[in-house]
């Protein structure tokens, strides 16, 4: 990665108070994302009328918030970046089709699904503050559509230490987030990010639980009924610390040890969402 230090931008976050974020300019995802979305046409067809203000199936008004985490008050750790660390092959059995092992820790549909941003929902561009450089990961749009069709709230929990390093502004992070919303068709239910550097020792920077706890509170649900989907060990650590369920979707930069330690591992984003919804998908669980 480029940048002044080796800390991976994908494990970073930022934001300013609890403020409503606008939707950025409309755009389109990559060809890969479009192709993956096309394969999920049957899944997204049920979303025919899910563009209103109320969440499908709940009758509850949509919660649309974007905010920074609280100030330093706990533990936070960083992890050096690395390139070319290929993940282990992911093998496993088929998840039960009726919620067995799916959803949050209690089974059934999750109360919310919280995604990491960089290298999970969007292609990682280190310390990116330019909305024009935002590209969705393959399957991201289809995965979010599937959750919306089932009435499951969707949010993002993201470390953005570029703010604390002076490489990004709060406004730039919000503009990038708004562009992600635009590429996904409409705003996600909640965005929460941490602007701190590891040395700040905050309680919100993943793998600390603060971002997950705050997002769950903003949505009016318990963290234990949430699922966190991300690409690195810090995402799984934050889920575990908050009492949520973690699902790892490895990339070429995910360490083999992180794959081995993850509670569930899915090959791609859409498979991960199908898994947490109790649909058949290939998943590796710990022995």
> Residues with catalytic annotation?
116, 118
d(CA 224, CA 212): 10
Grouping H, G, I as helix, E, B as strand and the rest as coil, residue 224 is: helix
Residue identified by tokens 């070319």 is 84
Q: Is the peptide bond before 287 cis (omega within 30 degrees of 0)?
A: no
Report the C-alpha gap between 23 and 264 in whole angstroms. 33
Compute the distance between CA of residue 93 and CA of residue 211 in angstroms, rounded to an integer: 31
Sign of CA dihedral 279, 283, 285, 287: positive
What's the start-to-end Cα distance of the chain, in Å?
Answer: 34
């Amino acid at each position: 990665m480029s940048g002044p230090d080796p800390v991976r931008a994908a494990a970073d976050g930022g934001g300013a108070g609890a403020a409503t974020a606008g939707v950025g300019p409309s755009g389109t995802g990559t060809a890969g994302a479009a192709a993956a979305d096309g394969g999920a046409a049957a899944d997204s067809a049920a979303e025919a009328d899910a563009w209103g203000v109320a969440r499908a199936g709940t009758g509850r008004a949509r919660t649309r918030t974007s905010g920074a985490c609280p100030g330093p008050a706990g533990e936070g750790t960083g992890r050096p970046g690395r390139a070319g660390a290929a993940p282990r092959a992911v093998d496993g059995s088929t998840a039960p089709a009726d919620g067995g092992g799916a959803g949050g820790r209690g089974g059934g549909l999750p109360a919310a699904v919280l995604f990491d941003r960089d290298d999970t929902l969007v292609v990682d561009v280190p310390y990116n503050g330019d909305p024009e450089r935002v590209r969705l990961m393959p399957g991201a749009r289809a995965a979010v559509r599937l959750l919306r069709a089932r009435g499951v709230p969707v949010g993002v929990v993201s470390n953005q230490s570029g703010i604390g390093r002076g490489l990004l502004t709060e406004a730039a992070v919000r503009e990038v987030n708004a562009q992600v919303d635009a590429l996904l068709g409409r705003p996600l239910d909640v965005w929460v990010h941490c602007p701190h550097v590891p040395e700040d020792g905050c309680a919100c920077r993943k793998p600390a639980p603060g971002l997950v706890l705050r997002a769950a509170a903003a949505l009016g649900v318990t963290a234990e009924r949430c699922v966190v989907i991300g690409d690195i060990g810090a995402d799984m650590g934050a889920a575990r610390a908050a009492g949520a369920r973690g699902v790892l979707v490895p990339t070429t930069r995910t360490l083999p040890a992180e794959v081995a330690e993850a509670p569930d591992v899915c090959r791609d984003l859409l498979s991960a969402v199908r898994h947490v919804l109790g649909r058949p998908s290939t998943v590796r669980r710990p022995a």
